Amino acid sequence: MTFSIVARCDKSGALGVAVSTAVPAVGAMCVYVRAGVGAVSTQSWVNPYLALTTLDLLESGADTESALAQALGRDPAADLRQIGAIGHRGHGAAWTGVRCTDWAGQRTGAWYAIQGNMLVGAATLDAMQASFEATRHLALEERLMQALEAGQAAGGDMRGRQSAALKVVRDEAYAWVDLRVDEHENPVAELRRVFDIARQQMTPFVEGMPTRDDPGRAPPPDVTRMLLMPPLSRPGATMRERDVHEHDVASDHIDQLARWIGVDFADDRVAHNLSVYRSILTEIDKLRTLDLADRHPAVVFDVKRLYRTDRSSGTQDTTESA
């Protein structure tokens, strides 16, 4: 019911998975990656414990083939399962149970395992393999994305399309890339669109996140400033004329606020304050553009009347005047 690739970068050691299927939430169900350990896609009547057990065994020192064999040996319904795995060292490994829905199969190599079931045909896996082997000069996340696109172009899931996911880890426990598309008529193409935006907007942020060795790291000022902008105003977004105007207004406000509060405060305090005040300024901009004259007459409050004494009665007149 799914086609996927798990892989390792022979240069950086990054580990990742790209996957697509014709049910929702494939990224939540099938993808398991652990930095410095391995990457697994468990599919065809999914058993998440196969993936978790495989990763545990890899972490304890087992090679990929042995870890996969041991994990499958603990599953009484192994004939229904399909799984692909790659460790931080060694060859890729895969399993396709005899009761997986046709067409089902797998391809493995020194740096990857590719697997799929309920496919249009073998061409899906062949195209993914050819793509991955031809792109060794690229970063792992791009190679995985291109392999997934090649598989989809060659046929993909015989039932159609619904969800796709891409996850890559590098040296840290958190993900370098973790993107998902659910309930979409063309999830692989949508994943590409989101991926291209994330590379311009999120990758610079992740590059500045805290690490084990440097827990005090923070994104550089230009990245902080970019992420304080509205999404349509950031790199990678397609802006209409109205959005360009909003971008200019927001930029002016952020520059003004930065000058106002950026003199005596640390960068993290500046970033916090800008994030708070930006939403207020955005709402003020919206209110300035509203014209409600045809719906409600103008109201003018006379503050002096609030405390004016009615001489005839000796009481205060606190009526608002319009």
CB contact burial 280-297 (16+ within 10 A = b; e otherwise): ebeeeeeeeeeeeeeeee
Q: For CATH 3.60.20.10, list the domain ranges present in the chain.
A: 2-207
Q: Do residues 132 and 139 lie in contact, with contact meaning Cβ atoms separated by under 8 Å?
A: no
C-alpha–C-alpha distance, residues 258 and 263, integer Å: 8
C-alpha–C-alpha distance, residues 11 and 303, integer Å: 72
Nearest in space to 258 (alpha carbons), one of 280, 236, 232, 228: 228
- Whether pTM > 0.85 for this model: the answer is no
Q: Do residues 13 and 170 lie in contact, with contact meaning Cβ atoms separated by under 8 Å?
A: yes
What is the full per-residue pLDDT of the chain (322 aa) written as tens digits? Answer: 699 999 999 999 999 999 999 999 999 999 999 999 999 999 999 999 999 999 999 999 999 999 999 999 999 999 999 999 999 999 999 999 999 999 999 999 999 999 999 999 999 999 999 999 999 999 999 999 999 999 999 998 888 899 999 999 999 999 999 999 999 999 999 999 999 999 999 999 999 999 999 998 888 888 888 888 888 878 888 644 444 444 454 555 555 555 554 444 455 665 666 666 667 767 776 676 666 666 666 555 555 555 555 555 555 554 444 4
- Of 3.40.630.10, 3.40.50.300, 3.60.20.10, 3.40.50.880, the CATH number of 2-207 is 3.60.20.10
Amino acid in the structure at residue 213:
D
